[in-house]
Amino acid sequence: MSRWFSRRPNAEAAPVPSPDNRRQLSTDVLHLFVLTSFAIAQPVYDRLSHKFGFLMDQSITPATVRFLVFLLSCGLPAALACVAIVTVRGKRQLHDVFHSIVLFVCLVLLALPVCSRINFLPGSVMLGGALTAAGLGVWCYFQFAWARALVTWSSPGVLIFPGLFLVQFSATTAVTGMPATRSERWEPVPVVLLVFDEFCGSTLMTPEREIDADRFPNFAALARQSTWFRNASSVSPLTVQAVPAILSGRYPTANDTPSPADFPHNLFTVLASAGGHEVAAFEPVSNLGFLGRAAQGHRPFGVWQQTQYLMGFLGRAYLFHITPPDYRENLPTIPPIWFGMHDSRDVDRTQRRGVFSYAWNDQRDDQFQHLLDCVDGSPRPVFYFGHFLLPHVPWCYLPSGRCYSEDAQNSELLCLGSDGEKPIDELAATQNQQRYLLQLMYADHLIGKLMTRLAETGVLDHCLLIVTADHGISFRAQQPRRSQVPGNQDEILSIPLFIKRPHQTSGTISDRVVESVDILPTVADVLGLTLQSPTDGWSVFDQSRPARSQLTVRDNEKILHVDPAIIPESHVPAVLRQRFGSGADREALFRIGPYPELIGRTVQSLKQSSGAPVEISLLRAADEFDDAPESTVPCYFEGLVLSRRSTEPVNVAIAINGTIRAVTRTYRASDFQNRWGAMVPEWSLQLGRNDIQFFAVDDTDGGLTPCVVVKP
């Protein structure tokens, strides 16, 4: 074994290193730097170079980034070099064993990502292949001079990798330029821009393409004093692309979260360059308002604390990088796009100016209330910006503002195609859309609160108010919720767009073909600013512009051109009326599923079947209704049917205090054949304990068979 490791015939103790040994030691130390650079540092730099927005989003300082580079490119190999120097003063064989172990580990780390790309191989084969390749590499290293020379020739990477990374980081974080100048029409009025998320604009409409004022009274009120662009469209189905497009007026150019340097001319810098506007911005996903974040009051992290915080994320990302796909499910969770990873506890809720970065999905009602608190009628013009993940999943809010489940990112109610891409069948798609509509009605409630607050503080009359969304959402069985496919583009591209100009009091409807990239030029136009950088959009009020002949949409790496007629010709309003009836009928939203005619009927008035009771177990159910606002409302039920008479779905009716309030069935999918779920209206519950009954509905005669609840 000593002959296998040794590079000279005699590897005896060397208390006083000879010149040859010193040269060999220098080469070994250099190789340690090379090996760790290629195996560890470079992959980390590569991942971070695509996620500079993450660094800025987390307020990681340049000093921390430079310290991280020092640790990876100097600290780690230097520590290994110290061990190598210590061991060489003992037996040479000990030094070679240590050197071989480091070499083997680094080669394994290099080989694992390569083997993991061979997707058809089992994980054990990938792991075995990486170990074999690393062992062969160690053997070649000690047996052949050309192998060691190859490592030496790769030594420029020790300087190139960190150098390129730091240059890229500096270029990405450098924001310069004068985005806008004042014109003679300059009018520094307050600007209020509210961006919802996963909000199909056509959802607001009746089949006559008017706003359904019964379901959405506050959006209807907003339309009566603003310009409603009912054919507005998004430019991307991805939030990290769509929101920056709204703020910058430019079509997306990459899939990653952009930094301020990617869009130096954005609404934040435009208003800052014009002067006069304070900022109160809620930006949980994008980070173009980063320059104002110092006013937020984050906890003061030092370089070492920030490095420790950052290493936790990088460690998870690196593990994912080297682990075969078969074993990744056992790894710590790593967000796929690294956004919205804020700690809401860092937000000072008493502050009224700055850029506030809540966790993207943390207590969305509290986030909106914080925005309302920031509207204080300041004599100075303020830019109020709020991007809120509503009516985005998880669906947990009722129109009243109360929740039927905890508002959390890992909500267990993200099921049946809502967190994945495809609802399992038509009923699941309809139920998902029902819960979406309930949450959208809550968003309508928030619009009413915003309008009231703006009016109370005297801001409403003279402000520029814009309400829109980043992209839409689709609810069609066996079709993606967000990814574009033939047949769902009308839902995903449609967004609401309401613009109330200063002192506007009457509403108009515009059928112009407008895109979300038109919002920044519109703000500049209304305020009287001249943009110093070109945009892909133009002011929606510029009548000299010809009508768009196509919509431009970025879908991952592709740029698509879509016929603008897809939105005004959408079937969404007709489908909504077919599924949920008229908004004037409050029971219509719950009259879905099999036997909708049973909704609102008393149990006593219905036929009772003589069949054997059906056994069910409840996954989610409660009967106690509390009037405390913070308590959850027990109006969502999920369960399993344990006894079936056939392979056909089982119909389940839910009675609240003697009246049928929901009828559902088990789902038509192999993994969900015994599972069912249903919503009942909040107003059907009484304070205190409610009488909840479950019945199976017989397909032959429509009779009710009592269900026996079996406790798990």
Alpha helices by DSSP H, listed for 469-514, are: 489-493
Tokens of 564: 């603008």
Average pLDDT of the chain is: 86
What is the second-level CATH architecture of the domain 180-297+347-575? Answer: 3-Layer(aba) Sandwich (3.40)
Q: Looking at this protein, which amino acid is placed at residue 531?
A: L
**Residue 605 CA: distances (Å) to CA of 455, 600, 602, 621, 704:** 50, 11, 5, 25, 11
Coil, helix or strand at residue 604: helix
pLDDT for the residue numbered 414: 41
Residue 8 has pLDDT above 50, yes or no: no
Q: Largest Cα–Cα distance in the chain?
A: 103
Residue with tokens 């205090």: 657
In terms of Cβ atoms closer than 10 Å to its own Cβ (0-12, 13-18, 19+), residue 288 is buried
**Which CATH architecture describes the domain 594-709?**
Sandwich (2.60)
Residue 42 to residues 25, 33, 54, Cα–Cα distance (Å): 24, 12, 18
Residue 617's φ and ψ, nearest 5 degrees, are -125, 150
Residue-wise pLDDT tens digits, 358-390: 877 778 999 999 999 999 989 999 999 999 999
Predicted model pTM: 0.83
**Does residue 295 have a pLDDT over 50?**
no
Q: What are phi and psi of 354, to 5 degrees?
A: 125, -175
Q: Which residue has the higher pLDDT, 222 or 701?
A: 222
How many helices (H) and strands (E) are present in the chain, helices listed first?
19, 21
What residue spans define the domains of the chain? 2-173, 180-297+347-575, 594-709
Peptide bond preceding 19: is omega within 30 degrees of 0, i.e. cis? Answer: no
Mean pLDDT within 457-463: 96
pLDDT per position as a tens digit, 27-41: 888 999 999 999 999
The radius of gyration of the chain from alpha carbons, rounded to an integer in Å, stands at: 31
The Cα-based distances of 414 to 174, 418, 432, 435, 492 in angstroms read 39, 6, 10, 11, 19
In b/e form, how buried is each residue of 187-209, taking b as 16+ CB within 10 angstroms?
A: ebbbbbbbbbbbbbbbbbbbeee
Per-residue pLDDT tens for 38-73?
Answer: 999 999 998 888 777 677 666 788 888 999 999 999
Average pLDDT over residues 189-206: 97
